[in-house]
Structure formats: C-alpha cells, structure tokens
Amino acid sequence: MNFKKFVENKDTTMQFEHLPKFLSAKEIIGSVSLEDHDDLRGRFDFANGDDMKLLDWKYNNAKKTGLLDKILKDGIKNPIEIHIDKDQHQTLTDGHHRLAIALEHFPKRLIPVKYWNG
C-alpha cells in the first residue's frame, strides 16, 4: 500500500464531507462529465454529446458480462467515483456500468458516491 497516497486520500475525504454520499443516477448524470477513459479511448466524442452513447455501450456490456443481473439482484454496493479538479469540475472516473444500469432501471434511487481529487 502506498502510505503517502492513503494519507492524501484521508485528507481529501475530509475536504468533501459537505458533499452528498448518495445521489440518484439522474442527479449524477446532470452534474458530472463522463469523458473518455482507458477502455474506450477515442471511441466517443464527448464534445459532441456522446455521453449517452457511452452509457448505452456500458449498459449493453453489463448485459453481456452478467453485471446487469448481479446489480438487479443485489443492488449497487460499490460507490460511483467522482474526481473533482482544482476548478471544481466533476468527472466520473469509476462506475460507468453501474450508472448506466441505474439510469435504465432505477434513475431516482439513491446510490453511493465517493469523491476524490489529486
């Protein structure tokens, strides 16, 4: 474990205590950028509003892998991770599949959220 990173993350957690620990999928999609991430680098043009295309792809991928059935049975256990940069811009960094499933099946149900910066 990288102790320095752990200490920084602990401080970061305190920095975001005022933010909600649970949000609905509709609230998340209305307040964060999805942006491209490693497993889909270059497939979507987020400047042209491809956010929903990405979530459609993630939803269909979750169906194929069994993640959809698992989440429908057990719910969303792991938090959606949101990065907040120095300008307070929020970007979804982990949980795209979970967000896509929540938007489709329970858009108003509260799901866990975790914030970080760095």
CATH number at residue 101: 3.90.1530
Distances (CA, A) of 28 to 1, 6, 40: 30, 26, 20
The reply to whether 1 falls in a domain is no
Structure confidence at residue 10 (pLDDT): 46
The reply to whether 12 falls in a domain is no
Segment 36-58 shows an average pLDDT of: 65
User: 65 falls in which pLDDT band (50, 70, 90)?
Assistant: very high
Q: Could you tell me which of 45, 42, 52 has the C-alpha nearest to residue 96? A: 52
Q: Which residue has the higher pLDDT, 17 or 28?
A: 28
As a whole number of angstroms, the distance between CA 86 and CA 61 comes to 33
41 Cβ neighbours under 8 A, 6+ residues apart: none
Residue numbers of the domain that contains 108: 17-116
